[in-house]
Amino acid sequence: MNHIITKDGVRLHVKVWGAGRPVIMAHGWPLSADSFDDLAMAIADAGMRAIRYDRRGFGHSDQPWSGYDYDTLADDMAAVIEQTFAQDAALLGFSMGGGEVARYLSRYGGQQVTQAVLISSILPFILKTDTNPDGVEQYVFDQIEADLKTDRAQFWTGFFKDFFGIGLTSHPASKEAIEWSRVVAMQAGLKPTLACVHAFSSTDFRPDLASFTMPTLVIHGNADKIVPIEKSSRKTAKSIAQATMIEYDGAPHGLLVSHKDRLIKDVVGFLIEGPRWQDRFKN
């Protein structure tokens, strides 16, 4: 199987590696499921089934005009889980993908979900409002949308430098990795790219966090310029009873590349050992 069909008829590209307990993986904006390849191979090598899919509008999936709200995206995740026969699954979300995990759990219940992993996640609510006074100002997202409409290809150049923490003396990702990311980002449609900026910036996931009733691993770099840790994962970890939080010191947003080896070790260890791994880490 290399695709599934959602309930509104959208064709989603799916990649399944390995056999065993399923791990459903939701990728970040503006990339695709291919960004998980290294982690997915490690998960499959460890005796599990890595299932990742291109979000509607991105990668090799269809690019419909609508459906970029998180209720619909959660329904898409549910379709992937159902059509890949994923039982007792772990859910893993990177960046924007954390929203799919949260909304799926609150919309469908977590009875069949054994673990959750959130990496550089946008949870719980990134936008500044009266009830979220330390969030990100709306004008930041307005400017992102304006820049994307003006020259999307040019915008990605600066964006991915921040994404991977590139500086005068810091190069945690190669120039080839940055160029590849730009190419993948350009595969997405302009409409989906813009619509998802609105979705991940304006959706309040604070009520969804109560649905994380399973052991949950939260990983975030404390030098993340895309999703600042103090506005996101530190809050999330405090709101999930069975959460273990790991902060990567000096790490950027794009941990799948910049801290690949450490991330693989932490995620696979958690998936295999669960609470025992959490207890050992806490000690």
Convert the pLDDT of each residue in 5-17 to its tens digit.
999 999 999 999 9
Report the percent of the chain where pLDDT is more than 90. Answer: 92
Length of the chain: 283
Distance of CA 235 to the CA centre of its chain: 17
Query: How far apart (Å, rounded) are the C-alpha atoms in residues 109 and 92?
Result: 16
Is the model's pLDDT at 167 over the cut of 70? yes
Q: pTM for this one? A: 0.96
Query: How far apart (Å, rounded) are the C-alpha atoms in residues 102 and 158?
Result: 29
Query: What is the 8-class DSSP label of residue 27?
Result: P
> What is the rounded average pLDDT of the residues 60-86?
97
> What is the rounded average pLDDT of the residues 55-59?
98
* pLDDT-based confidence at residue 111 (cuts at 50, 70, 90): confident
Contact (Cβ atoms closer than 8 angstroms) between residue 155 and residue 145 = no
Give the residue numbers marked as catalytic: 95, 224, 253
> What is the rounded average pLDDT of the residues 38-67?
98
* pLDDT-based confidence at residue 174 (cuts at 50, 70, 90): very high
Query: How far apart (Å, rounded) are the C-alpha atoms in residues 151 and 181?
Result: 16
* pLDDT-based confidence at residue 170 (cuts at 50, 70, 90): confident
Contact (Cβ atoms closer than 8 angstroms) between residue 17 and residue 41 = yes
- Homologous superfamily assigned to 3-282: Alpha/Beta hydrolase fold, catalytic domain (3.40.50.1820)
Q: How many CA atoms lie within 13 A of 107 on its CB side?
A: 17
Structure-token pair, residue 121: 């996640």
Query: How far apart (Å, rounded) are the C-alpha atoms in residues 58 and 265?
Result: 28
pLDDT score for 1: 63
Q: What average pLDDT is seen over the chain?
A: 95
Q: Where are the alpha helices (DSSP H) in the chain?
A: 37-45, 70-83, 97-108, 138-163, 175-187, 190-202, 233-239, 255-258, 260-273, 275-282
Query: What is the 8-class DSSP label of residue 214?
Result: S
